[in-house]
Amino acid sequence: MGEGDKVRCYFTTPDKAAKAAGKCDGDAAGFVRVKHSGRLCPLCGPCRDSFVAAQGHMSDESRKALPGEASFEEVGLEAGAAEYAAQAPKAK
């Protein structure tokens, strides 16, 4: 990732920002890899904290009902930047 290249948080678009639980910083601080799909999702610090907190509050029953049992792993910004840049857009 070069100087000036910034990855934006997933929640920076106006329609997604309205759904964000906290205040989105705009610039991603890192990624979470959704284990069932392998896709990287960029998140700023506050959105990452909200995501991790929500995951922690899920019941086992809720978790088992989601694809991949809602498993994820954290990936650093520098470590995931090139992979994220090459990632195909998510199918709708």
5 within some domain: no
pTM of the entire predicted model: 0.78
Task: Give the C-alpha separation, 74 to 62, whole Å.
Answer: 21
Higher pLDDT, 37 or 1: 37
85 pLDDT higher than 90: yes
In DSSP notation, 12-25 reads GSHHHHTT-SS---
- What's the structural domain count of the chain? 1
60 within some domain: yes
44 within some domain: yes
90 within some domain: no
63 within some domain: yes
* pLDDT value of residue 12: 83
Residue 28: give the domain boundaries.
10-85
pLDDT, tens only, 32-61: 998 888 999 999 999 999 888 888 888 889
